[in-house]
Structure 1
């Protein structure tokens, strides 16, 4: 079976979850605001803590979340400052958030399991914490900034439990504290819940979408440019420089992880944060949906061009 059809088969459940999310709001009248809060304040902290405490950390691995967190934050801040006056509403805030990240968790983790050996997939999951941390610190601040003052936005960031879950998990890891096996099985189940609810929230955001109002071609184009041109271009440039000049990472497995991060679709966390911060989510949802569909073709092509995993 070709790579394209393998990928299509593997990601079919993700699209089913989008449909279920839409139906849960449309038919069952589930409150998407409650699901968004559940993801940010309960599910994500448990996933971050259990992953951080479990992985074996060495220098090359430890530097990657720092690299991606700084890169995500730098990109978001630059994009926000460039485009903050291009829209009268909070569209520039969502654009900046999206430019700084990708769907590394809900979409990327299944892809990592599909393409990589288990130990490389574990590396992916650990490094992916940088994207979660970005989304709950710099990214949260940028989206909150549209409705709140700097002080209020910073207070909201430091109230997020994921910040403290990461710190606690890292300290436990460094001091050799482990989760008991019985509890580890329990916390591991949250990763599945994280993926399912994360894609369902995308479908929930589709309810109320109106094409005439939410089809912002400029917004869509810029999102696609930063995700599908800027991100892979910058990552490939870094890999080339590291291979030929600085030899800072010099690890083919980590290169593969970095490249996969650069080609995942636009993050649907922007939809979640738009809901949490009272920003109209429909425009962001429509763009994420287009990106997710586009990735069915884009991802196999990019992997072939890279030389395969």
Structure 2
């Protein structure tokens, strides 16, 4: 029970941010499109660049973001192929995006800080780069494909600065270049801003939610099965294979992988849905419900795993 209450206490501010986001749009008429642009084009690249430089990279650690990026992309394309004719709007594209990722940043990083020692929390944060890269490339593509042609989707993807921030960060890290302490204390502030605005986007996306067309039971059911059942079982399968046959990773990295697999739906589902006008209300409601469900779901699956 102590894990449950610790988790509840830690994530409570996230719900405050959701409420603040809702009222900032409802009462103050803050444009959610502007916040989405700030997240993707300003805060995201800075967070990715600074985090990429902060981890000492070896082959096993580098494996994690590479594996998850490939895994996320495969799941997204499979989901888009399977469900592309299920809806006659961009819902299938939002489903494909959400199938391939989770709220590894806004929600997962606080969990990593709770459960892991600092060095392992840093490894988790580095692994989160896989989600950010996925969301900015494959995820952006499968979402944009609902409203744009293939060429237009690729062009929009290549204009996202977060992609180049990641590449530059990796290159400088491998060259041994670091961020001066005076600068790193400044860039660290962007992580907090990224988390706060990201959760506020959930609340902003709920403005205009209409009962009926936006409360799609089929959409919610499929996304929940993929995120809360398929993802942890698939990652447990990978852990089993490595532990018994390949032995490339270690128990600490298994913990990072499992935590990565059990977070709720990604908050950036709403961000991209807003930017691309792809059912943001439906995405916001589904992400919000998954976040609430995770309050009970995460302690349960951690107990079944054996705890950290």
Q: What's 2:192 paired with?
A: 192
Distance 1:55 1:264 in 2: 22
Q: What's 1:71 paired with?
A: 71
Task: Spell out the pairing of 1:16-165 with structure 2 (5 A cutoff).
Answer: 16-165=16-165
In structure 2, list runs of 5 or more residues that go unmatched.
none
Secondary structure at the counterpart of residue 212 of structure 1: coil
State the Cα deviation string for residues 126-170 of structure 1 (Å, max 9, x = none): 010000000000000011101111111000010000011011111
Distance 2:59 2:188 in 1: 25
Q: What's 1:239 paired with?
A: 239
Structure 1 residue 93 displacement after superposition: 0.3
Q: What's 1:9 paired with?
A: 9
Q: What's 1:181 paired with?
A: 181
Q: TM-score, normalised by structure 1?
A: 0.99
Structure 1 residue 6 displacement after superposition: 1.1
Distance 1:141 1:212 in 2: 28
Secondary structure at the counterpart of residue 214 of structure 1: coil
Task: Spell out the pairing of 1:198-209 with structure 2 (5 A cutoff).
Answer: 198-209=198-209
After TM superposition, the runs of 4+ consecutive aligned structure 1 residues lying more than 4 A away are none
Task: Spell out the pairing of 1:216-235 with structure 2 (5 A cutoff).
Answer: 216-235=216-235
Distance 1:117 1:53 in 2: 19
Distance 1:167 1:98 in 2: 24
In structure 1, list runs of 5 or more residues that go unmatched.
none
State the Cα deviation string for residues 162-207 of structure 1 (Å, max 9, x = none): 0110111111101111111111110111111111001000000000
Q: What's 2:265 paired with?
A: 266
Q: What's 2:292 paired with?
A: 293
State the Cα deviation string for residues 112-139 of structure 1 (Å, max 9, x = none): 0011100000000001000000000000
Distance 2:256 2:97 in 1: 22
Structure 1 residue 280 displacement after superposition: 2.2
Distance 1:92 1:221 in 2: 13
Distance 1:121 1:208 in 2: 37
Distance 1:177 1:258 in 2: 28
Distance 2:184 2:286 in 1: 36
Q: What's 1:170 paired with?
A: 170
Distance 2:107 2:292 in 1: 12
Structure 1 residue 248 displacement after superposition: 2.3
| Aligned pairs, number | 308
Distance 2:213 2:238 in 1: 39
Distance 1:246 1:94 in 2: 35
State the Cα deviation string for residues 45-95 of structure 1 (Å, max 9, x = none): 000000011210001001110000000000000010010011000000000
Secondary structure at the counterpart of residue 68 of structure 1: helix
Structure 1 residue 212 displacement after superposition: 2.0
Secondary structure at the counterpart of residue 237 of structure 2: helix
State the Cα deviation string for residues 195-249 of structure 1 (Å, max 9, x = none): 1001000000000001222111110000000000100000001101111112122
Secondary structure at the counterpart of residue 128 of structure 1: helix
**Which stretch shifts more, 175-184 or 77-86?**
175-184
Q: What's 1:276 paired with?
A: 275
